[in-house]
Amino acid sequence: MTQKIKVGVCGACGKMGQAVINAVSRENDMELVSAIDIVNVGEKTGGVIIEQSLENALKEREIQVVVDFTNPELVYKNTKLILENNVRPVIGTTGLTEARLDEIEHLSRKKSLGCLIAPNFAVGAVLMMMFAQKASKYFSNGEIIEIHHNKKKDAPSGTAVKTAQLMAGEREKFSQDNCAETETLKGSRGGVTESNIHIHSVRLPGFVAHQEVIFGAPGQALTIRHDSFDRISFMPGVIMGIRHVMANNDFVYGLEGIL
């Protein structure tokens, strides 16, 4: 029998961490060997005892892949720590800047270790981004509305940022024909990217992760929408990611890189 992939989950007690632990335990070729969180330390989850320090876990357990769903302030430090300990990261935590992504890519290539960072693990969301990219070739006006639950710490969402980057790959500047605008309430037009794509972040209880990309042209509109109603929507992507980083020594940003 082939060896099971030894997985550690950082942010194990969080909403995503718990979904990942359940998903990993359902796979025959994976084994949860470590659960790291700063809450419920010493208690059990998924059959392992929750430990506080990622650094100690990396040194003391035989972890091959760490899945990280913690928070934007920790993700950079955690990803570097994982790679420096010769372990492969699968990162779902959002909030990494481009400069930090470059640095992590460099480290993963230098170490020749598989590394996947995906702002959205839902396959449907990745397709929504690809469709928006394709539509940008034909529509010169487009804006993004992203909706998340009200416990999300960063805005705009990593998915919205990634969508805007993909759209900008097709067209240098959007909405150039808008008239001069005045905001009587600051922020009304949302955040504006270098390519002049407006991103509007909505935070409401009851929602999980949703995004609409709206394109407008004379006499028509195109709306591309994706909804994650449940965190289970992210799990096939996470499981695929764990297998990918074990089998490949490359750096990948975005789930589309392994689909």
Ligand X SMILES: NC(=O)c1ccc[n+]([C@@H]2O[C@H](COP(=O)([O-])OP(=O)(O)OC[C@H]3O[C@@H](n4cnc5c(N)ncnc54)[C@H](O)[C@@H]3O)[C@@H](O)[C@H]2O)c1
Catalytic residues: 148, 152
Burial label, 154 (beta-carbon count in 10 A; 0-12, 13-18, 19+) = middle
| Closest CB to ligand X among residues 65, 209 | 209
Specify the residue, 167 or 235, whose C-beta has the smaller distance to ligand X. 235
Tell me, what amino acid is at 65? V
Separation between Cα atoms, residue 165 and residue 161, nearest integer Å:
6
| Phi, psi torsion values for 66, nearest 5 degrees | -110, 125
Angle in degrees, CA 141, 187, 124, rounded to 5: 50
The least distance separating ligand X from the CB of residue 3, rounded to whole angstroms, comes to 26
* Placement of tokens 């359902």 in the chain: 26
Give least dist CB 74 to ligand X, A. Answer: 5
CB of residue 168 vs ligand X: minimum separation in angstroms?
A: 21
Nearer to ligand X, 76 or 121 (CB): 121
Q: Contact residues for ligand X (CB under 6 A)?
A: 10-11, 13-17, 36-39, 54, 69-72, 74, 92-94, 118-121, 152, 209, 234
Distance CA 219, CA 232 (A): 38
Instruction: Write down the least CB distance from residue 18 to ligand X, Å.
Output: 8
Smallest separation, CB 153 to ligand X (Å): 7
- Considering beta carbons, is residue 117 or 246 the nearer one to ligand X? 117
Residues 6+ apart with CB under 8 A from 122: 209, 226, 228, 233, 234, 237
Contact between residue 12 and residue 45 where contact means Cβ atoms under 8 Å apart: yes
Question: Under a CB-based contact definition with an 8 Å cutoff, are residues 36 and 55 in contact?
Answer: no
Residue type (1 letter), 231 = R
Q: Looking at beta carbons, which residue is closest to ligand X? A: 14
CA-CA-CA-CA torsion sign (147, 72, 100, 194)? positive
Identify which of residues 196 and 233 has a Cβ nearer to ligand X in the complex.
233
